[in-house]
Structures are given as structure tokens and as C-alpha cells.
């Protein structure tokens, strides 16, 4: 069982309300606060704001989070790529190069989930999909049932992910015990 320590809730508010009026009031307040945060941090999306918070020293924010990851699925993978690109460099890490790698993997359908953040230094985790409809670039097609990928297809995805991320010169590149490809730049 995975423990979630945080999640972006602007799409799916996880709070139960007594009535629709309370829910609407909460949603309106959430929207106003989100707009203020995005404006104050000069961010386009909540995902970008979170990356800026994690790398606070690069964006003149009063904090930085040294052991944090931001998890994204679906089209939010492109949000994280756009946010990663805003980080110029950190030792051997180059934001644009890593962002381009993430976009390439997304476009090929090789990402089910991505996590970006810090383990002291920049870290990226990529999990390939098990089923067609889990790919971050998946577009639903009428009268088409998604199929499960064969083991050899997933093995090919792992090789492609490792090759693509390897081109960004991480200090560590491996597959962790949960099946994520992990790239870490020190």
C-alpha cells in the first residue's frame, strides 16, 4: 500500500460537505486562493508552483524543500515538464534537457506516472504503463478496449526510458523496488 502525503486537489476536492452550497463556497475560496498563489509566484499551474516551492532558492521564494516529490499522471506530465524546464541548472542537472526527455517519453506513451522533486538534489521517477489507457498521452477511442501491455513491450519501455534519461547525464539511473526508473543528479 502506498501512502500519499499530499496531492493536488483543485480537480477533485476530497472533502465531504453537508450540502452543495458548502461545497460551492469551498470551491470558490479554493479558486481565489489558488489564483493568488499562482500570481504571487508567477506560475501558470499549481504543478509549476509546487516545483518552484521545492526549488525555492532558484525562484526567490523563502523556502526550499529538500526531500519532496510531486506526482503527476496523464496530461499533467506535460505540466511537470514545463515546470522542470524553468529550473536552469543544479550541478549537472539541466532543466531544459530533462524537460525535453520527459516530453519525449510522454509523446511515446512511455509514462503512466512521473514524480519530480528532490532527494537533496534533483530526482525524477518514471513508471511505464501496464495498460494502453494508463499512458499519459492516451486519448480515448470509441469502441476500443484498452489492452494490457505484454512483458516484452514493458521491457522495451524500460530500456527506452533508461536510454532517454541516460542522455541527461544523471549520477544515478536505476529501477527501484516499486518498478520506477529513478534518475538522480548530484
Confidence grade of residue 138 (pLDDT, cut at 50, 70, 90): very high
Range with the poorest average pLDDT among 7-11, 50-54, 55-59, 100-104 = 7-11
For residues 146-165, give the mean pLDDT.
Answer: 97
Residue 141 confidence (pLDDT)? 76
DSSP classification of residue 133 = G
User: Helices in the chain by DSSP H: which ranges?
Assistant: 20-40, 46-54, 76-85, 95-107, 151-166
Residue 117: its H or E element: strand 113-119
**Does the pLDDT value for residue 146 go beyond 80?**
yes
Q: Which residue has the higher pLDDT, 74 or 1?
A: 74
- Please state whether 143 falls in left (phi above 0), alpha (psi between -120 and 50) or beta: left
Domain for residue 141, yes or no?
yes
Q: What is the pTM of this model?
A: 0.85
**Residues 99-124: pLDDT tens digits?**
999 999 999 999 999 999 999 999 99
Domain for residue 108, yes or no?
yes
C-alpha cell of residue 68: 519532496
Domain for residue 18, yes or no?
no
Nearest to 25 by CA among 43, 13, 8, 11: 13
Residue 27 confidence (pLDDT)? 82
The average confidence (pLDDT) of the chain is: 90
Domain for residue 160, yes or no?
yes
**How many structural domains is the chain composed of?**
1
**Residues 5-18: pLDDT tens digits?**
455 555 566 566 66
For residues 30-43, give the mean pLDDT.
Answer: 91
d(CA 175, CA 18): 45
**SS3 state at 174:** strand
**Residues 78-96: pLDDT tens digits?**
999 999 999 999 989 999 9
Domain for residue 23, yes or no?
no
Domain for residue 71, yes or no?
yes
Residue 7 confidence (pLDDT)? 52
**Residues 156-175: pLDDT tens digits?**
999 999 999 999 999 999 99
Confidence grade of residue 30 (pLDDT, cut at 50, 70, 90): confident
Return all residues near 98 (Cβ < 8 A) that are at least 6 apart: 84, 122, 124, 165, 168, 183
Domain for residue 56, yes or no?
no
d(CA 26, CA 155): 45
Residue 9 confidence (pLDDT)? 57
Which residue has 499522471 as its cell numbers? 73
What residue numbers bound the domain in which 69 lies?
65-184
Nearest to 87 by CA among 98, 72, 75, 76: 98
CB 161 within 8 A of CB 109: no
Residue 4 confidence (pLDDT)? 44
Domain for residue 147, yes or no?
yes
Amino acid at each position: 500500500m502506498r501512502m500519499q502525503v499530499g496531492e493536488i486537489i483543485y480537480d477533485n476536492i476530497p472533502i465531504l460537505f453537508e450540502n452543495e452550497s458548502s461545497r460551492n463556497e469551498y470551491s470558490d475560496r479554493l479558486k481565489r486562493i489558488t489564483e493568488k498563489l499562482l500570481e504571487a509566484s508567477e506560475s501558470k499551474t499549481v504543478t509549476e508552483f509546487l516545483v518552484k516551492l521545492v526549488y525555492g532558492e532558484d525562484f526567490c521564494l523563502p523556502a526550499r524543500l529538500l526531500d519532496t516529490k510531486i506526482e503527476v499522471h496523464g496530461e499533467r506530465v506535460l505540466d511537470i515538464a514545463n515546470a522542470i524546464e524553468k529550473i536552469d541548472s543544479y550541478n549537472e542537472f539541466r532543466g531544459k534537457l530533462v524537460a525535453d526527455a520527459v516530453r519525449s517519453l510522454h509523446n511515446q506513451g512511455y509514462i503512466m506516472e512521473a514524480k519530480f522533486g528532490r532527494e537533496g538534489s534533483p530526482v525524477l521517477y518514471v513508471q511505464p504503463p501496464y495498460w494502453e489507457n494508463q499512458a499519459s498521452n492516451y486519448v480515448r477511442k470509441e469502441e476500443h478496449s484498452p489492452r494490457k501491455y505484454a512483458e516484452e513491450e514493458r521491457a522495451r519501455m524500460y530500456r527506452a526510458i533508461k536510454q532517454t534519461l541516460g542522455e541527461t547525464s544523471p549520477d544515478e539511473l536505476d529501477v527501484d523496488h516499486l518498478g520506477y526508473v529513478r534518475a538522480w543528479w548530484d
